[in-house]
Amino acid sequence: MTINFISKENNKILNILFLSIPAAFLLPVNFSNIFCIIYLLTTFYFFRKYDLNIKTDILDIILFFFSV
């Protein structure tokens, strides 16, 4: 069994960051927080760079208001 991907871009950095998530949790808390910030900034950058829409559904809005 294999997985087919429709990769739009060669997002190596984003891939590496995403793959590092399980390993990032092994780091001390401060490093995990730094990783989290880098991850967020990089993701935002990629969405802007490739002009991708960030889809939002009603649940996202609910969660946003909850977190605020």
Partner 1 sequence: MIKNLSLNILNKVSIIRFFFIYWLTKNILQQNLIKIEGFFKVSLFCITFISINIILMHLIGNDIFGNKEIANRFSTIFGERAVAGTYLLNFFFFGFIYVNCLNKKNILITFFFILLTGLGILFTLDRMPFILFVTFFFFICLLNLKKDYKLFIIFLILIPIFLFLLLKYEKLFTRYSKLSALEVKELILVLDKNNKDTQGIYSYSSIIKDSINTIFFEKTLIGSGTSSFYSRCRDFRLQTQKLSIIHGYAYACPKHTHHLYLEILISGGILGFIIFAIAIIIKFFVLTKNVLVQGTSYYTINSILLTSFLVEIFPFRVYGDIFNSYNGLFFFFKISIIYGIMKYKILKI
User: Which residues of this chain interact with partner 1, rule CB under 8 A?
Assistant: 1-9, 11, 14-15, 18-23, 25-26, 28-29, 32-33, 36-37, 39-40, 43-44, 46-47, 52, 54-56, 59-60, 62-68
CA angle 10, 47, 58 (to 5 degrees): 130
Q: Where are the alpha helices (DSSP H) in 1-68?
A: 12-19, 21-24, 29-49, 58-67
Residues in the chain: 68
CB of 9 to partner 1, least distance (A): 7
CB of 48 to partner 1, least distance (A): 12
